[in-house]
Structure 1
Amino acid sequence: MESWRKRMKIKGRFMGLCLLVFIGCFLTGCQLAKEEGSAGRYEDRLVGVLVTTEYLDLFDFAGYVEDHIGSFSGGEVQIDGAGEKYQGRLYAELTKEILTDVESGHKVEREEYDFPGVEGIAYYSLRVPDTEEREGYFTTGSDEGISDGHTSLHSSDGGNSVALEGTVYVSPGLGRTYYFNPMYQSADGRVYVTSGSGISSGGEQSEGEALTQTMKADYTVTENGRTVKDSISVQLSIHMMYPPEEIVILQMGEDGAVISRGEYGPGEVPERITPEKDTAYLIVETKKRDNSGRILKDRAIYDRDKEYLEAFFCREDGICIKKQVPIERELPSLSAL
C-alpha cells in the first residue's frame, strides 16, 4: 500500500512537470520539427492540421511512469527520448456523405476524415487508399471554418511538394487557446493526429489581429538507386473579425442608382443572387460593431460578371464562415440563338 502511494505521488509530480513543459512550448510558439526520411521505406507523413480549442491529452502518463518507476530519483522525472513511444494517436474515421443539388437533384458522394468525439477544424491533403471498388486518389479536405484556402501542388521526377494555406476567422474577445495538432498518414493509409502546440488569443483583440502557425516536413526515400524528396508545409492563421450583424446587397446601375436592395441577417443571405436586367455591379455592405459598440460598415464591390460574391456569418462557437454566393448569369434569349 505504501509503495502504491509513492507511485501515485510520483505520477502527480510527473503530470505537473509535463504540463509546465507543454505550457512552455505554447508560450514560445513551437513549430513542428523538420523530419528526414530513411532510405528504402515509407514513413508516416505530415498531411495537414486539426485545430481544436481543447488540448488533446494523448500522452500515456500512466504507462510512462509504470515503465520507468525504477529510474526516478529525488521525486523528479526527466523525460528523455524514450518518451516518444508514449505519445498517443487519435485515429480518424473515413466517413461518406451524399450531397444532393437542390435544383438538379444530382447526387454526389463526399468522403471526409472525422475524429470521433473531437470538435475541430481540419485542413489536409492526403491520399485515399485503394478499395475493391475503386483506385486510390489524392484529395484535399477542409472544414467550413477554413477560409481563403489555397493549395499548391508541384510534382516532378525528383519529388512532390505540397503547400496548404488558409485562414480561420474568429470573433475577438473569446480568450481561447487554439491548438494546432499535426495530422499524419501512415503507409497503410490510416490518418491520425498527435497532440500539438497552442497559441493563445487572450486579452482584448481588435479586428485584423492575427496569429499564425506553420508546420513543415521533408522526406527523402531512396529506392533502386533513385532518390525522391517530398515536402509539405501547412500555414494557418487565426484572424480576428467582429461578428457581422447585418448584410446588405445592393444592385447598382451604370449611373450609380440603386436598382435593388436586399437586407439580410447573419446566415440569411440567399444561396444565389440573380441580378436585375440593368444591374451593372453589386455592393455587399457588412454591418459590424467594434469593442466599444461603435458601428462599422465594410463594403465590397462585385461586377455582375463575377462568378460569386462573398458574405460572412459567425457560428455560435465564434467561428466566422465565409459564404460564397453564386451570381447567376443571364441566359441568352431565344431570338439571339
Structure 2
Amino acid sequence: MNKKGYWAALSLVLMISLLTGCRLADKEKGQTSEDLLIGFFVTLDYIGSEDEHGRERGPIYGKEKGDTYQFEDLKGYGMYFKMYDDAVSGVSDGEIRELKITGGDQFSLEGTLYVESGKKHSMYANAVYQTSDGKVYLMPGQTGCSAEFDEEGDALYQDMKYESSEGFKTKHGELKKFSYKINMKSAPNLQKIVIKQFDKGDNVISTTAMNADSIRKQVKKLKNTSYIMVEYYTKGRVERKICEGDTIEYSHTKKDGVIIIKDITIV
C-alpha cells in the first residue's frame, strides 16, 4: 500500500473505531450513545483499557484547566468544542497551534502539534466526550489507531467525522455534524538565538546571544535602538526576523519532543 493509501485507510479506521466505541460502549462504564464527542486529548503514549494490575479501567474524568481539561495524571494535549453564551467556539492547550474552527452545515475543528524533527514520533487521538450534565471524560483503550512517522517523516494526521444523536443547540440553530482533525508536523530544534539592536544608521549597537537551554525572560532595549533583529539558529540554518512589538517569540522543545512557543519580553 502506498503512503497516501495508508493514511486514507488509517483515517477511515479511526473514524469507524471512534464512532463504534461511542455507540456500543457499556453504559455501566459511564459512556452512552447520548454523550457528545467534543474533541481529542492527544497523547504520545497509548492509554490502555487495563491498569497495572490487569483490572479494567472505567472512564477517566477531566478537571477544568483554564479553558481545557486535565485527565488525572495523563500527559497530553487537548482541543475541544466549547459553548460560550450559546455559541460554539474552539479551545486548545497552548501546545496545539494553528487552531481553526469553521461553521456552516458541519462545524470543524483542526489543530497542529509540532514535534522535534529527526526523531521518531507517535500520537494517539483519544476521543473526549461530554455528558448531559456537563461531565467530561475519555475512555481508555478507545484511541482508535496510532499514527507515527520516522526520522525522515515530516507530517501526519488523524481525523474523523461525527454526528450526535441529539442536536447541539446554539444561536446558530441545532448543530449535529462535526469533524475533527489533529496534525503532527516536525520542526527543527532551536539551538540558539542572537538578538541584535540597530541604531538609525543601521549600525549594530548591541548583540545578545542565548543558547536554547538558557533563554532569558527579558532583554533590555537601549535608548538609541531604532529596531531589533533576531537570528534563529537551527541545524544547518539561520532565519532572521525583524522584531515587531514588545516581545520576541522563540520555540522551546519539551522533554517529550513537543515544540511550544514562548516569549522574551523587551523592557
- Superposition deviation, residue 112 in structure 1: 4.3
Tell me whether 1:183 sits opposite 2:166 in the alignment.
Answer: no
Tell me whether 1:165 sits opposite 2:126 in the alignment.
Answer: no
Instruction: Report matched runs for 1:255-334 at 5 Å.
Output: 255-289=201-235, 295-303=236-244, 306=245, 308-327=247-266
Instruction: Report matched runs for 1:1-337 at 5 Å.
Output: 28-30=10-12, 31-32=14-15, 43-58=34-49, 89-94=59-64, 110=66, 112-127=68-83, 141-148=91-98, 150-152=99-101, 162-194=107-139, 195-196=142-143, 197-202=145-150, 204-205=151-152, 209-219=154-164, 221=167, 228-289=174-235, 295-303=236-244, 306=245, 308-327=247-266
Q: What is the alpha-carbon distance in structure 2 between the residues aligned to residue 246 and residue 325 of structure 1?
A: 13
What residue is the counterpart of 1:98 in the other structure?
Answer: none
- Superposition deviation, residue 246 in structure 1: 1.0
Q: What is the alpha-carbon distance in structure 1 between the residues aligned to residue 265 and residue 158 of structure 2?
A: 32
- Superposition deviation, residue 121 in structure 1: 1.5
Is there any run of 5+ residues in structure 2 with no aligned partner, and where? 1-5, 20-32
- Superposition deviation, residue 245 in structure 1: 1.5
Inter-CA distance 141–232: structure 2 relative to 1 (3 Å threshold): same
Kindly report the root-mean-square deviation, in angstroms, between the aligned alpha carbons of the 2 structures.
Answer: 3.8
SS in 2 for 1:28: helix
Quick one: which amino acid aligns to residue 15 of structure 2? L
Quick one: which amino acid aligns to residue 133 of structure 2? D
- Superposition deviation, residue 199 in structure 1: 0.9
1:198-241 Cα distance to aligned partner (Å, 9 max, x none):
21112x226xx221223333445399xxx722443333221112
Inter-CA distance 277–234: structure 2 relative to 1 (3 Å threshold): farther
Q: What is the alpha-carbon distance in structure 2 between the residues aligned to residue 183 and residue 239 of structure 1?
A: 22
- Superposition deviation, residue 253 in structure 1: 3.2
Q: What is the alpha-carbon distance in structure 1 between the residues aligned to residue 185 and residue 124 of structure 2?
A: 14
Q: What is the alpha-carbon distance in structure 2 between the residues aligned to residue 153 and residue 267 of structure 1?
A: 38
SS in 1 for 2:34: coil
Q: What is the alpha-carbon distance in structure 1 between the residues aligned to residue 200 and residue 106 of structure 2?
A: 46
SS in 1 for 2:214: coil
SS in 1 for 2:212: coil
Structure 1 or 2: more strand by fraction = 2
* Preserved CA contact (<8 Å) 2:44 2:122: yes
Q: What is the alpha-carbon distance in structure 2 between the residues aligned to residue 117 and residue 137 of structure 1?
A: 31
* Preserved CA contact (<8 Å) 2:68 2:93: no
- Superposition deviation, residue 179 in structure 1: 0.9
Quick one: which amino acid aligns to residue 90 of structure 1? I
* Preserved CA contact (<8 Å) 1:153 1:160: no
* Preserved CA contact (<8 Å) 2:116 2:187: yes
Comparing 229-238 with 188-197, greater Cα deviation is found at 229-238
* Preserved CA contact (<8 Å) 1:92 1:191: yes
Q: What is the alpha-carbon distance in structure 2 between the residues aligned to residue 187 and residue 281 of structure 1?
A: 54
TM-score, scaled relative to structure 2: 0.70
TM-score, scaled relative to structure 1: 0.58
Identity across aligned pairs (percent)? Answer: 25
SS in 2 for 1:124: strand
* Preserved CA contact (<8 Å) 1:51 1:122: yes
SS in 2 for 1:92: strand
* Preserved CA contact (<8 Å) 1:127 1:189: no
- Superposition deviation, residue 267 in structure 1: 4.8
* Preserved CA contact (<8 Å) 2:193 2:210: yes
Quick one: which amino acid aligns to residue 97 of structure 2? S
* Preserved CA contact (<8 Å) 1:270 1:325: yes
Q: What is the alpha-carbon distance in structure 2 between the residues aligned to residue 45 and residue 151 of structure 1?
A: 20
- Superposition deviation, residue 189 in structure 1: 0.7
